[in-house]
Amino acid sequence: MTADSVAAELLEIRGRIDQIDRDLLQLLAQRFDLTHHVGRLKASNALDPVDAGREAQKLEALRALCADNGLNPELVTEIFIKIMAEAVRNHNQIRQQHRQ
């Protein structure tokens, strides 16, 4: 391979990575739209913003998917714990607004 062909291949691969990053952000925005809806349902029905059982089941399922996809389950768990914490933070915020 020549330096020019390597550079061209790197640019192409990086372009694909950039598109995946944009796709991930769009999916994350969709996920938060849905969890916002969940937060409104919980607030209007006086349900606890945190569902520890659901979170544990979700993390277990994600760890199993990691094995199937060759991903580091510790990394994925860490990412999703942060995502879920943000959803709960939003649920608490919605609950506060609902009480006003």
Q: What is the pLDDT of residues 68-90, one digit of tens each?
A: 999 999 999 999 999 999 999 99
pLDDT over 80 at 94, yes or no: yes
pLDDT over 80 at 100, yes or no: no
pLDDT for res 33: 98
Q: What is the pLDDT of residues 9-48, one digit of tens each?
A: 999 999 999 999 999 999 999 999 999 999 999 999 999 9
Alpha-carbon distances, residue 3 vs 6, 11, 13, 36 (angstroms)? 5, 12, 15, 49
In order of their start, the domains of the chain are 3-99 (1.20.59.10)
More confident residue, 28 or 99: 28
Q: Residue 83: what are its φ and ψ, rounded to 5°?
A: -60, -45
pLDDT for res 40: 96
pLDDT for res 98: 87
